[in-house]
Amino acid sequence: MSEPPLKKKRRTILDFYQRISRTKCEVVKDKVDLKGTQEAHMATSNSSGNALTSQKLPGSIPGSEIDKNDNKNLDPQKTKLLRDGKCAPVEGKDHTKSTQEANMANKNLPGSTPESGESNNVNENSDSKQTKLGKAASSTDKSSPGPDDGDICEQESEDWEETLDSQSSDNFLSSSRAIPIKKPTPRKDGSQAWKGIPVKGLKKMPDCEEKLGPLKGSESHVVLFQTPYEYKEQSPPKPYAHYKDKWDHYHVRMPCSDQNEFPVQEKHGKKIVRRWDIITRALSGDIKDINDLEAAIISYSHRYFEKWDFQTLHYFFTKDLEEQECREFFSKTMKKMQKLAQKLPHLCSHPIPLLKKGQSKSVTFSQQQIACLLANAFFCTFPQRNAKQRFSEFPSINFSSLFTGKPDSVKMEKLRCILHYFTRVCEKTPCGTVTITRMHKSESHNWDEMNTHLLGLHVSSEGTIEDDGEGMLQVDFANKFLGGGVLSHGCVQEEIRFLICPEMIISRLITEELAPNEALVMRGCERFSDYDGYSSTFKWKGSYTDKTSRDQWGRIYCEVVAIDALVFRNYKSQFNHDFVLRELSKAYCGFFRRLPQEHLPAVCTGNWGCGAFGGDCRLKALIQLMAAAHARRDVCYFTYDDEKLRDDFYKIHSYLTTTNRFSIGDLVKIIEEYRKNIILKSQGKPEMNIFEFILRIFDGSLENTDEYSHSSYEMRFLKESGRESSFSSRGATGGVTLNVNWESESNTASLKSTSKSSTSRQYSQETQIQKLDMSTAKSPKGLALPSHWAPIETGVVSVLLDPNDRKQTIRDEYAKVAKHFEKSMTNAEIKSIKRIQNVLLWQHYALRKKEMEGKSGVGNVNEMHLYHGTIPDTVELICEENFDFRNAGSRKGALYGQGTYFALEAKISDSYAHIDGNNHKFMFVAQVLVGKICLGIAEYKKPPYLDE
């Protein structure tokens, strides 16, 4: 069996120091007859005058041997062609995005092997004017999606016009190949695309920036150039004078290291030499075409001779680009890239630390250093990773995966973005800096008990994070291996961001796989390219000039945080309590900064963890809103043309922040109730989403079920999940009585105290849970509720008493409870006092009081205000079911019989109140119907009769 021509050609690369003869790749001439259609072969000329036959059919790479036989068997009725540079419309279909984008959005998770043929179509040449490399040219979009591009390429043949127009190719830096994404159309009704806070009302950099001093390095912040440093527009930072090498597990293993060794076969056996010597020799040569480039890379990467086939790179330079473009690139940009790569020991003279798991550490590069490092990545000079276990959790950095394998249209566009970047930085050296920070948060958060409220929201169906999030903290929907498939397959949100801002790729060099409690922040990365499309329709659109201002350290005011979401193959599993808490912690880790709130810009995000990762967009929106609130930031959210999601998100945010002041802890509990009562009881994906659940259970429109009616749910939730204060009972009744007014008919007060000697700082924010109308509340059964109660008809409400409330009655109520408590608890600090309103238990109490008054005949039932201390774990049970005499003596015995024990003074009940994890104790103040008093004994199971 004869050897394939490409392998046979590559077998000539045997001498690591000799250049292979520069021969043109053999062009496979393959004609395909289309039955019933016009001839589809367009001939052009190459530098040797040979005719190139180019079959412009989706799913094939014309002129490549790998598709030689495929084109012959194509069904002409399945061929999807172009009309006026766009896909012909099909009724009922959205041609701006494929419905199978989730499958195309390959994030290259560890161990996965993405499909390589996502979009193998190649554009017809257009007759647009040629431009020089590095210059953008606008022209009509002539791109066609391939057969694997989802619904956009799976329509019936009669819906498409089978025509092929002869076009001449634009250069690889033009915008002629861009398929536009769906652009916002003018709104005839004059309506807005956004709701909530105007963008101008959100905090942004540099307006909210904290003033920086001169840049200096520290143990937790490594600066790779000379400091102190302040940005100068025309002068890049100066590297350290002498190269220092660290070849260990904690630093990047540099190509120029003396320990980067390479075996060379000589007459008398193998000899070990410095690999950098071979690299510099190869990059000092005259690289005139793709064959020379391949020979140079293989000369110092002999072990990958068989693995790296360079098919994509060969196709790009021989088929995708015009011959003149190739000559110009290799004669100008390539030579500058070679020189830039060889400057590595001079520009990157300081050891580059690895950002490993469990660290909170920063590394600041100059943009010039990043360009040099990426040039080395392009030439594949870095020692290969993943060969040994110690590097198995680092992403690859060499561009070999992008160069190798079956070509497709997305790879072509990726190469355009990357080569455009090199053209720009080789023409003009960038002078700024970039800081990459790994954020690690070891402390855990009790999200279920968190009393923080949601903050502001701007939500829009139009716009993108990178285009409209200037000055905000922009979210990268990341893979745990940074960059995902940017250097291989996959082209969704993260990959696109890395392609238009290639300096972000350098994060792959230093960042180990992200742990669940970690995030990565990239600050100062410049944008070099514009784009259109998404996933298989991604197209490089042209050069982009980033006019964003810079800070004192020379960093562009662009801060991007990479947070990786969990992948959910089963839709229901994402509502699991542990998974919700994981996503909350991940987002919070990325959003949190130890800065005053006035210096924290808004979070700019969108449908994080949705699409290919299987996340529910409404759940993820709520999670990000909660995490941002805890991090003290507003949110700017883009729904990507989903107006229904925009309206729903705005409505639920308004409800949660105005009508009912829900805390983060409340929402965590609501999500769990949604899982138990909707998710687990539904077959497949439920019809009612989480937003509808929240709205319907509290407006009473949730349909009753045998076990879960609106009223029962509302009472249960309000008992279990209180609002706002750090008081961990979630709505409570105090013993056999209710409420909190010290002199009212029946009262219960819940107090939370902490020792003044405690050194733990308290962060709980005590704010009133509702704007209360103090009009008379009504009982549904005719029993008048206490006049000082907030309006309530059913369920339980816990009302936080604010000593600084604008209402005098609230202030007086707080003062009376606090004064009596402090008589015997002089060393305790009251953290909060809440009035508990429980309609059902109030009715029972009122009826029992009337019964006792009737029996006594004089109306004196001996009501007293008494204290009851308890452990944190039983607070919620007491709140829901009142004091349970059956639990009497369970901890310290029942000296005076089976019953509920109270004390006249708080200091006595204090010994029964145990502290929680926040050094807080809990105590109830109850109004009790005591009746006549007698001395009890341990044998009593119920109160004795009076005649006894």
Strand partners, 921: 753
CA dihedral for 420, 422, 427, 432, sign (positive or negative)? positive
> One of 141, 393, 476, 916 is an active-site residue; which one?
476
Active-site hit among 495, 616, 648, 910: 495
Q: Which residues, in sequence order, are bridge partners of residue 518?
A: 440
What gap in Å lies between CA 451 and CA 730, rounded to an integer?
11
Instruction: Measure the CA–CA gap between 401 and 387, rounded to whole angstroms.
Output: 15
Asked if 775 and 760 count as a contact pair (C-beta separation under 8 A), the reply is: no
666 given a catalytic annotation: no
Instruction: Please say whether the beta carbons of 485 and 108 come within 8 A.
Output: yes
Q: Which residues touch 947 (CB under 8 Å, ≥6 apart)?
A: none
Q: Is residue 153 left, alpha or beta, with left meaning phi > 0 and alpha meaning psi from -120 to 50?
A: alpha
Instruction: For residues 48 and 700, give the distance between their C-alpha atoms in angstroms, rounded to a whole number.
Output: 79
Q: Which conformational region is residue 601 in: left (phi greater than 0), alpha (psi within -120 to 50 degrees), or beta?
A: beta
CB 226 within 8 A of CB 237: yes
User: Phi and psi dihedrals of 638, rounded to 5?
Assistant: -110, 130
What percent of the residues of the chain are helix, what percent strand, and what percent coil, each to the nearest 5? 30, 15, 55
Q: How many angstroms separate the most distant Cα atoms in the chain?
A: 123
- Cα dihedral sign, 682-683-688-689: positive
* Dist. CA 726–CA 719, nearest whole Å: 15
Active site residue 476: yes
The verdict on whether residue 479 carries a ligand-binding annotation is yes
Contacts with 879 (C-beta within 8 Å, 6 or more apart), sequence order? 719, 729, 730, 731, 732, 733, 796, 836
Q: How far is CA 724 from CA 450, 616, 728, 752, 808, in A?
A: 8, 27, 10, 14, 22
Per the structure block, which two tokens stand in for 494? 């993260």
Question: What are the tokens at 947?
Answer: 């005649």
d(C-alpha 246, C-alpha 251), whole Å: 6
- Cβ-in-10-Å burial (0-12, 13-18, 19+) of 242 comes to exposed
How far is it, in rounded angstroms, from Cα 796 to Cα 711? 11
Decide: residue 408, CB within 10 A, 0-12 exposed, 13-18 middle, 19+ buried. Answer: buried
Token pair, residue 746, equals 């029946």
CA distance 619 to 581: 12
DSSP letter for each residue of 811-850: HHHHHHHHHHHHHH-TTEEEEEEEEEEEHHHHHHHHHHHH
Buried b (16+ CB within 10 A) or exposed e, 530-550: bbbbbbbbbbbbbbbeeeeeb
The catalytic residue among 494, 503, 876, 880 is 494
Say if residues 455 and 634 touch (Cβ distance below 8 Å). yes
Size of the chain in residues: 948
Is 704 known to sit in a ligand binding site? Answer: no
Q: How, if at all, do strands 361-366 and 433-440 pair?
A: antiparallel
- Position 670, amino acid: I
Tell me 332's DSSP state.
Answer: I
* Active site annotation includes 162: no
The half-sphere exposure of 347 on its side-chain side, counting CA atoms within 13 A, is 22
Residue with tokens 């066609």: 144
What are the backbone dihedrals phi and psi of residue 460, each rounded to the nearest 5 degrees, phi first?
-135, 145
Numbered residues of the known binding site for substrate: 479, 493, 534
Numbered residues of the known binding site: 479, 493, 534
**Positions marked catalytic:** 476, 494-495
